[in-house]
Structure 1
Amino acid sequence: MTWLQAHLTVDKSRAPLIELLFENLGAVAVTLGDAGDEPMLEPAPGATPLWQATRVTGLFEHDTDADSLRSAINQALSADVSRHLTLERIDDRDWERAWLDLFKPMQFGERLWIRPTGHQVEQPDAVILDLDPGLAFGTGTHPTTALCLEWLDGHSVTGKSVIDFGCGSGILAIAALKLGAAHAVAIDHDPQALTATLDNARRNGVEDRLEVFHSSVFEPRQANLVLANILANVLIELAPQIEPLVAADGDLVMSGILREQADSVMQAYTKRLHFGPIKHKEDWVLLHGRSS
């Protein structure tokens, strides 16, 4: 069996309209994706961000007439929008498996690996996170997540307490636990992220050392290591909440920060912290502060 797939690239302001149009025309699924290679990190609380150039894809039943669908879309939209429409026939397949096949084991630092389902890691001393791409943010593919994972691999976290602030999929908290941390707390405002974190913790056998909290009910406590891989403006806004979480002689590791934003973020965290050299990957940076 084949499916009919419609693709339309539009400005993000028009994406919800196209999504609704595809649904009204009978799409069984509609997805939104990046059409311009624009990075997207953990959004601010309550935000639903889209890419400036958003590709809206509708999946239609095999018996949908392509000419009729094109005509209906053209009639509903202005000519400057509908001229970007493309239609294609695609074969039926195991879409979840095809998605997972795009991901291979990834190494961070010397020992730390992320291993998707169905793959093996041959390194004898590897520390492995079993993790598949999912709906919550954080699979290790983005430079900011990679920076944090490489930092964890290169520093001793054995026996330490950890807070993962804005945990997404829980990847950083789970990595710290797999590397020997005694206990971790994962915090996020998105219920889906909390569910993903718990599922991933169970899969990796660390759920007994992990607590998961919605940000609205988390009662502040201090930890030896605080990780925050969220956007720079959110890091600045939440500095009064995040900085006090770092215990004396503890570490704060922050990413989600563009090179030109680094100074502004560090200036928001100067009360108790002394920052070391900035780590770079592509256009992104990692900041490491040590508390006095």
Structure 2
Amino acid sequence: MPFLQVNIVVPSSHAELLSDELMEVGALSTAIEDAYAGTDKEQPIFDEPNEPSAEIWEQSLIIAMFDADTDVDAAVAALPANMRPVKEAYTITEVADQDWVKLTQSQFDPIHVSERLWITPTWHEAPTDGSINIELDPGLAFGTGSHPTTFLCLRWLDANMPQGATVLDYGCGSGILAITAAKLGASHVVGVDIDKQAIRASHDNAAQNNVSIDVYLPDAQPEGQFDVVVANILANPLRMLGQMLAGRVKNGGQIVLSGILAEQVDEISALYQQWFDMKPATIQDGWACLFGTKRA
């Protein structure tokens, strides 16, 4: 069955309230976007690298979906008078029904990380040429391999992790780095995350990939040191957790840090230089990955 899509451009200060009112008059769903998305006036509000951020868009586009048999003009007329747009201020288009699951899946293709390493959603056929494949579907926990920080850590693991190493993935999210370490030949892998959803996702994703990893909340994590510690989080927690993370790395072991903006590299590298011989960062799309060897 088709749907009717109603687009309304309003000042952002009114967008959430009008969105709620549209649900009250029969909308099946509403979404709010930057009215200038895709143009020179588009405004980032989520701290994209190298871009100034606004607290709110100047103008918002409300997208409301209604059943095909809805009298949209009557629904709009039922809105409170102080929020009711004039006829010329909104557009109505018919949207054909689709297989929304397939449409969503079509947006996620396999990711070729390195010559031998792939991240492949389960609905795609995995490579069969001897490559190492990580089966991972987009979910609630962070980390599908597409973000530069995850990608940089994956490439480091593929190129540098010693066979049989013990690995700690601190801030494991979906478990992608921990699972990759296990598939690359780590002898023991531990993941830690503050989010219970991430713990669940990491366990499920590890089972899907036929590898064993141990995943804990921070308060429950076991003591001990590791050959490799990976922390793909953000600069502020990396600042606060520096001494703790350094203490989890064996002398001569490796630390890998990401979630860092390019302009934060010098500060974070200097901080970890207390314990590690830090190497030059690798940069991708404004994000950085730092790594170093722990001094005895």
1:284 aligned onto 2:290: no
SS at match of 1:268: helix
Residue number in structure 1 paired with 2:263: 260
Does the 8 A contact of 1:266 with 1:275 survive in 2?
yes
Shift of 1:281: 0.9
Residue number in structure 2 paired with 1:96: 101
Residue number in structure 2 paired with 1:270: 273
Residue number in structure 2 paired with 1:65: 71
1:243 aligned onto 2:246: yes
Does the 8 A contact of 2:45 with 2:56 survive in 1?
no
Residue number in structure 1 paired with 2:133: 128
1:140 aligned onto 2:151: no
Residues 126 and 260 (structure 1), Cα distance of their counterparts in 2 relative to 1, 3 Å cut: same
Does the 8 A contact of 1:132 with 1:139 survive in 2?
yes
Does the 8 A contact of 2:229 with 2:256 survive in 1?
yes
1:3 aligned onto 2:9: no
SS at match of 2:220: coil
Residues 273 and 123 (structure 1), Cα distance of their counterparts in 2 relative to 1, 3 Å cut: same
Separation in structure 2 between the aligned mates of residue 55 and residue 170 of structure 1, nearest angstrom? 36
Out of 220, 225, 235, the position equivalent to 1:222 is: 225
Residue number in structure 2 paired with 1:190: 195
Separation in structure 1 between the aligned mates of residue 24 and residue 56 of structure 2, nearest angstrom? 24
Residues 122 and 2 (structure 1), Cα distance of their counterparts in 2 relative to 1, 3 Å cut: same
- Supply the AA of the counterpart residue of 2:168: I
- Supply the AA of the counterpart residue of 1:66: V
- Unmatched tracts of structure 1, length 5 or more: 42-49
Out of 159, 163, 171, the position equivalent to 1:166 is: 171
- Supply the AA of the counterpart residue of 2:72: A
Q: Percent identity?
A: 38
Separation in structure 1 between the aligned mates of residue 33 and residue 192 of structure 2, nearest angstrom? 26
TM-score calculated relative to the size of structure 2: 0.79
- Supply the AA of the counterpart residue of 1:222: Q
Deviates more, 1:172-181 or 1:184-193: 184-193
SS at match of 2:129: coil
Separation in structure 2 between the aligned mates of residue 266 and residue 117 of structure 1, nearest angstrom? 37
Residue number in structure 1 paired with 2:204: 199
Residues 59 and 195 (structure 1), Cα distance of their counterparts in 2 relative to 1, 3 Å cut: farther
How many pairs are equivalent?
Answer: 279
- Supply the AA of the counterpart residue of 1:257: I
TM-score calculated relative to the size of structure 1: 0.80
Deviates more, 1:178-187 or 1:10-19: 10-19
Deviation digits for residues 147-194 of structure 1 (CA, Å, limit 9, x no counterpart): 111111112342111111111111111111111111211111122222
Separation in structure 1 between the aligned mates of residue 81 and residue 21 of structure 2, nearest angstrom? 11
Separation in structure 2 between the aligned mates of residue 242 and residue 14 of structure 1, nearest angstrom? 45
Does the 8 A contact of 1:186 with 1:213 survive in 2?
yes
Shift of 1:37: 8.5
Shift of 1:18: 6.1
Shift of 1:220: 3.9
Does the 8 A contact of 2:26 with 2:75 survive in 1?
no
Separation in structure 1 between the aligned mates of residue 223 and residue 79 of structure 2, nearest angstrom? 52
Deviation digits for residues 24-74 of structure 1 (CA, Å, limit 9, x no counterpart): 455545567785585969xxxxxxxx9855876554444443334445668
SS at match of 1:249: strand
Does the 8 A contact of 2:116 with 2:132 survive in 1?
yes
Residue number in structure 2 paired with 1:46: none
Aligned CA-pair RMSD: 3.3
Deviation digits for residues 205-242 of structure 1 (CA, Å, limit 9, x no counterpart): 11xx2111123433443211111111112211222332
